[in-house]
Amino acid sequence: MTVRKMTAAQATISFLKNQFSVRDGKQHQFFGGCLGIFGHGNVAGLGQALEQDPALRYYLFRNEQAMVHAAAGFAKSSFRMRTLICTSSIGPGATNMLTGAAAATVNRLPVLLLPGDIFARRNVAPVLQQLESSSKQDISVNDCFQPVSRYWDRIYRPEQLLTSLPEAMRVLTSPSETGAVTICFPQDVQTEAFDFPEEFFRKRLWVIPRPRCDKNLLSEAANWVRNSKRALIIAGGGVLYSEASEALKRFAEATGIPICETQAGKGSLPFDHPQQLGAVGVTGTPGANTAAREADLIIGIGTRYSDFTSASKTAFQNPFVRFININVAEFDAYKHAAIPLTGDALATIDELQLASGNYQIDESYRDTIQRLRSEWEIEVNRIHRSAIPPPIAQGEVIGIVNNFMQPSDIVVCAAGSLPGDLHKLWRTREPGGYHMEYGYSCMGYEIAGGLGVKMAKPTSEVYILLGDGSYLMMAQEIVTSLQEGYKLNIVLLDNHGFSSIGSLSRSCGNDGMGTNYRYRSGEKYDGQVIQVDFAANAASLGAWTMRARTAEEFKAALVLGRKQTKTSVVVIETSYEEKVPGYESWWDVPIAEVAEHDAVKEARQRYEEARKKERFFF
C-alpha cells in the first residue's frame, strides 16, 4: 500500500479538496474554499496546510460567526450541492461560530467547521483560552457544538481522520441529515504526522440520491388527492433544494391545485403563476391563509411546518383536513399525522401527479383562486405605492427595490420586520432569487450571508436588505467583500430601533421598552433619538455610500449604486410606526397571565381566545 507522510492538518486539506457531489449527472467540487481567522489554535496546523496547498482557496474573514453565515449562504444558493469550510482558533474564536452553526443546522444547510481545540497530550494544560473542569479532562468549549451539530467529533490521533472525515462527508451530502458538521481539532494533533494511505486522497464522488417513496403510500395519497375538494400545496425549502420547481409547476398546472410558499420555499413558482397564492402563515397573504383555513387536503412539499407556517397550529381549521407530506426527511414526512411520502421532492411530485390520473380542481375553486390572486395584487400595489411623507414606509422601499431589480438578481434578508413584509410583498421571478434566513431568524446574518450568496453566484447582482439593528450587530464583512472583490448592493433601512419587536411588545400590552434607539432619561429610554451616521460608518469600511430620504432620491441612489464596481450601501430612513398589516393569521406569543396594566390584561384575554383555535393532529 502506497502511503504519504503528512501532518493531520495537511491530510485534512488534501482529503477535502478532492470531494465532489453529483446529482443528475452534474458534478460539483463540494468545497468552494476555506474561510478562517487564524490564532494559536490553528495557524501552525491548518494555517500551514492551507498555505502549503492553495488548491482550497483561503478567505480571511473578520468575525467567526460571519464565516459560518457566509458558508450557509453559499450552500443555500448552491441548493446544498456545495459549501465552504470554516476554521477558527480555540476558545472565543471557536465559540463565536456557535450561533452560525445553530442557524445552519436549523435550516438544514451543510457547513463544515474545523475549530481549533486544546492540547490532546494535556501536559501543558491549562493553555491560553482553555476551559478547565474539576471533574473531567477531556472537555473544552468545543463541546458546546454538540447540540447544534448534525455530526460532531474530536480528533485525538491523526489516523482518526481516516474514519471521521468520510463520516463528515456522509452527513454533509445527506439530503435528510445535513447541517453543521463540527470536527474539533486539538492544536498539537494538527501538526502531528502519520503515514496516510494514498487511496484516502483520491477523487471521491458523493452521489446525492433521489429516493422514491413507498408505492402503497403513494397510491393512498393519490386517492386522497382525487377525493379532495379544496386541496392546497405548501412549498417549502425542499422544493428548491431538490430543484423541483419545474415538477411542481407541471403538477400545479395539471391539477389546478394552488400553491403557497414558506419563507424557505418562496420562489418555488414565479409570483405571477396562475396557481401561486404567495406566502402562507403568520407572514402570509390573505389568499394563501384563507385557502389554508378552508383546505380539506394539505400537500406539504419539503416543509417542516414551523410555527410561522402553521400559524402556531391555527392555520388549518377545516375539521376534515388531512395531510400528505413529501419530504426526504422521515422526521418531517410524518408531521401532522400525514401520509408520509418519504422521498425526493422532484421524483415524488412527478410520481404523485402520475398516480393522481386526470384529477383537476372544480371551476368554482379555480375562480376563487383567481379572485384571491387579483385582490392581493391590488393590495401589493397599494402598499408598494403608499407615498407617505418622509420618512417613507418600509413597504414602499420594498416595492421600489423589487421593481428596480432584474429577474436574475437575488435579494437577501434574515431578521426583524423585513422578513414578514418581504414574504408577503416580494415578487419573486426565479428559483433562488429570494434568499431568506428565517429558520433561526438570526440578526447579523444578512451581510455575511449575502457575501456567501455572491461567492456562490458571482455573476448575479446580490441585494441585501437589512435594518439598522442587524447592521449594528455585524457589518464588518463589508471589508471582506472589498478585499475579495465581491460587490454587494446593501440597502440599509434606518428606523431608529427594533421595529419588529417594538410592534410585538405593544401587541402584548407593553410599551415597547428597550426597542427604540433613544438616550436614557431617568429610568426609561425616552430621550432624544440616537442619530447614527450609517453612511459614514459604511464609508469608513471602504464602501461606496449614499443617503436617501425621499422615494425619488432612493430610486436615484439605487441606479448609482448598481453602477459601482465595489460594495455599495444606500441608507434610507423609514417610518418606525408605518406597518404592513397581517392577514388572516395569528402567532402564539404567551402573554403575562397576571399583570398590573389593563393593556396587558386585555392582551391576555385576546390571547386565551385565540389559543382555542390551536389544533393537534393525530
The pLDDT, as a whole number, for residue 332 is 98
In a shared domain, residues 94 and 228 = no
CA distance 414 to 409: 17
The pLDDT, as a whole number, for residue 180 is 98
Please state which of the ranges 69-78, 457-466, 495-504 shows the lowest mean pLDDT. 495-504
**Average pLDDT over every residue of 375-401:** 95
In a shared domain, residues 449 and 548 = yes
CA distance 21 to 27: 6
Q: What is the DSSP letter of 28?
A: E
The pLDDT, as a whole number, for residue 503 is 85
**Average pLDDT over every residue of 172-178:** 98
In a shared domain, residues 80 and 226 = no
CA distance 254 to 248: 10
CA distance 144 to 269: 39
Find the CATH number of the domain harbouring 339. Answer: 3.40.50.1220
Contact 94, 182 (CB under 8 A): no
CA distance 572 to 495: 9
Is residue 613, in this structure, part of any structural domain at all? no
In a shared domain, residues 154 and 17 = yes
Show which of 170, 190, 207 is a domain's final residue: 207
In a shared domain, residues 334 and 391 = no
The pLDDT, as a whole number, for residue 83 is 98
Instruction: Say which amino acid occupies 342.
Output: T
Closest CA to 265 of 209, 325, 309: 309
Instruction: Specify the residue for cell string 450552500.
Output: 75
| pLDDT at position 386 over 90 | no
In a shared domain, residues 168 and 240 = no
Is residue 599, in this structure, part of any structural domain at all? no
CA distance 268 to 276: 9
pLDDT in tens, 558-585: 999 999 999 999 999 999 888 899 999 9
| pLDDT at position 479 over 90 | yes
**Average pLDDT over every residue of 287-308:** 98
Please state which of the ranges 74-78, 429-433, 509-513, 541-545 shows the lowest mean pLDDT. 509-513
Contact 453, 435 (CB under 8 A): yes
Cα 253 to Cα 229, 256, 359: the distances in Å are 16, 5, 11
In a shared domain, residues 547 and 503 = yes
447-466 per-residue burial string, b: 16 or more CB within 10 A, e: under 16: bbbbbbbbbbbeebbbbbbb
The pLDDT, as a whole number, for residue 515 is 85
The pLDDT, as a whole number, for residue 218 is 98
In a shared domain, residues 447 and 526 = yes
The pLDDT, as a whole number, for residue 457 is 98
The pLDDT, as a whole number, for residue 497 is 84
Q: What is the DSSP letter of 202?
A: S
Contact 570, 488 (CB under 8 A): no
| pLDDT at position 511 over 90 | no
In a shared domain, residues 444 and 473 = yes
List CB contacts of 224: < 8 A, sequence separation 6 or more. Answer: 297, 322, 324, 339
Is residue 129, in this structure, part of any structural domain at all? yes
**Average pLDDT over every residue of 320-341:** 98
In a shared domain, residues 46 and 183 = yes
Cα 501 to Cα 39, 415, 418, 492: the distances in Å are 37, 11, 12, 18
Is residue 595, in this structure, part of any structural domain at all? no
**Backbone dihedral angles phi then psi of residue 325, each to the nearest 5 degrees:** -115, 120
Show which of 322, 353, 375 is a domain's final residue: 375
Give the ranges where 152-272 is alpha helix by DSSP (H).
Answer: 161-172, 187-190, 215-226, 237-241, 245-255
In a shared domain, residues 113 and 75 = yes
The pLDDT, as a whole number, for residue 524 is 87
**Average pLDDT over every residue of 596-604:** 94
Is residue 288, in this structure, part of any structural domain at all? yes
Is residue 412, in this structure, part of any structural domain at all? yes
CA distance 595 to 542: 50
Q: What is the DSSP letter of 97?
A: T
Find the CATH number of the domain harbouring 125. Answer: 3.40.50.970
| pLDDT at position 377 over 90 | yes
Contact 188, 158 (CB under 8 A): no
**Average pLDDT over every residue of 260-264:** 98
What is the residue-averaged pLDDT of the chain?
A: 96
pTM for this model (two decimals): 0.97
Is residue 587, in this structure, part of any structural domain at all? no
Closest CA to 534 of 496, 501, 498: 496
The pLDDT, as a whole number, for residue 367 is 98
Helix H, strand E, coil C: the string for 239-279 is HHHCCCHHHHHHHHHHHCCCEEECCCCCCCCCCCCCCEEEE
In a shared domain, residues 197 and 307 = no
**Average pLDDT over every residue of 241-264:** 98
What's the domain count of the chain? Answer: 3
pLDDT in tens, 140-150: 999 999 999 99
Q: Which residues pair with 568 in a beta bridge?
A: 489, 544
Instruction: Give the pLDDT band of residue 451 (cuts 50, 70, 90).
Output: very high
Show which of 357, 375, 393 is a domain's final residue: 375
The pLDDT, as a whole number, for residue 576 is 83
Residue 153, helix vs strand vs coil? strand
Q: Which three cell numbers stand for residue 60?
A: 480571511
**Percentage of the chain lying above the pLDDT 70 cut:** 100
Residue range of the domain that includes 137 = 3-207
Is residue 403, in this structure, part of any structural domain at all? yes
> CA angle, 111 as apex, 212 and 242 as ends, to 5°?
25
| pLDDT at position 498 over 90 | no
pLDDT in tens, 540-554: 999 999 999 999 999
